[in-house]
């Protein structure tokens, strides 16, 4: 045990530290409970989005295979190059119980016939359908990226908060209580010793008084 000054002032200080540590532990538990609720709420959304993305990817792949089987491959390739362009996203942020999570500005990537960059007279409806399905898939991928990032960050914060709670509950608070108990025991022993010495001194004084009192 570290060097402790076993005084009443030190005991008061230790008890105040225990109370503060217990309050901190309780606040961290409340934070962790709120984060866990948010985690499962987002996880449900992520699960649904993954299912929808898998379904949309199958539809997009199926429409592409049909276009490849029926339409001229050169026309299909030209249309794909015409629609190729960068994806620009505006990312903001918010806090969930102190955890920074991203917010991706919602932009639909599903375009109209005149927005894809190729002539609507030069391609078939099958190519248009394939393009629309892949654009819808991109929408879902971006939305899923936002929620999955939030899920990972909240999950990391839950783990870190749990470690802090465990450190307070299993290490710091028990150690503070052991120190407070040591101070209490030391003070009690000192008071008993002081009381014993006082009684002994009192007896000595009383004995001296008896021996010094005049005999009648």
For residue 15, the domain's CATH number is 1.10.287.3240
> What rounded mean pLDDT belongs to the chain?
82
Residue 170 lies in a domain: yes
Reduced 3-state DSSP string for the chain? CCCCCCCHHHHHHHHHHHHHHHHHHHHHHHHHHHHHHHHHHHHHHHHHHHHHHHHHHHHHHHHHHHHHHHCCHHHHHHHHHHHCCCCCCCEEEEEECCEEEEEECCCCCCCCHHHCCCCCCCCCHHHHHHHHHHHHHHHHHHHHHHHHHHHHHHHHHHHHHHHHHHHHHHHHHHHHHHHHHHHHHHHHHHHHHHHHHHHHHHHHHHHHHHHHCCCC
Instruction: Tell which wins on pLDDT, 131 or 184.
Output: 184
Residue 214 lies in a domain: no
Q: Residue 110's CB: how many other CB atoms inside 10 A?
A: 14
Residue 77 lies in a domain: yes
Residue 190 lies in a domain: yes
Please give the model's pTM, rounded to 2 decimal places: 0.70
pLDDT of amino acid 87 = 65
Residue 111 lies in a domain: yes
pLDDT of amino acid 99 = 87
Q: pLDDT tier at 113 (50, 70, 90 boundaries)?
A: low
pLDDT of amino acid 36 = 94
Residue 95 lies in a domain: yes
Count structural domains, the chain: 1
Among 6-20, 43-57, 68-82, 110-124, the minimum mean pLDDT is found in: 110-124
Average pLDDT over residues 38-45: 90
Average pLDDT over residues 190-205: 81
Digit-coded pLDDT (tens) for 121-171: 566 668 777 778 888 888 888 888 888 999 999 999 999 999 999 999 999
Q: pLDDT tier at 60 (50, 70, 90 boundaries)?
A: confident
Q: Residue 6's CB: how many other CB atoms inside 10 A?
A: 15
Residue 107 domain boundaries: 8-209
Residue 216 lies in a domain: no
Mean pLDDT is highest, among 39-43, 80-84, 110-114, 173-177, for: 173-177
pLDDT of amino acid 216 = 46
Residue 21 lies in a domain: yes
Handedness of CA 200, 204, 205, 209 (dihedral sign): positive
pLDDT of amino acid 81 = 54
Query: Rounded to whole angstroms, how far apart are CA atoms 100 and 93?
Result: 7
């Amino acid at each position: 045990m570290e060097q402790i000054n076993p005084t009443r002032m030190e005991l008061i200080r230790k008890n105040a530290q225990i109370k503060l540590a217990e309050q901190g532990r309780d606040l961290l538990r409340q934070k962790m409970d709120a984060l866990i609720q948010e985690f499962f709420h987002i996880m449900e959304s992520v699960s649904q989005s993954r299912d929808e993305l898998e379904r949309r990817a199958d539809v997009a792949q199926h429409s592409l295979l049909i276009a490849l089987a029926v339409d001229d491959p050169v026309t299909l390739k030209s249309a794909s190059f015409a629609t190729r362009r960068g994806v620009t996203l505006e990312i903001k942020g918010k806090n969930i119980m102190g955890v920074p999570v991203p917010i991706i500005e919602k932009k639909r990537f599903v375009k109209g016939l005149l927005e894809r960059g190729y002539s609507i007279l030069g391609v078939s409806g099958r190519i248009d359908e394939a393009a629309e399905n892949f654009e819808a898939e991109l929408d879902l991928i971006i939305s899923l990226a936002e929620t999955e990032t939030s899920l990972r960050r909240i999950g990391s914060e839950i783990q870190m908060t749990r470690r802090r709670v465990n450190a307070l509950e299993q290490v710091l608070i028990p150690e503070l209580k052991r120190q407070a108990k040591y101070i209490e025991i030391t003070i009690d022993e000192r008071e008993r010793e002081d009381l014993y010495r006082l009684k002994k001194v009192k007896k000595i004084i009383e004995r001296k008084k008896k021996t010094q009192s005049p005999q009648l």
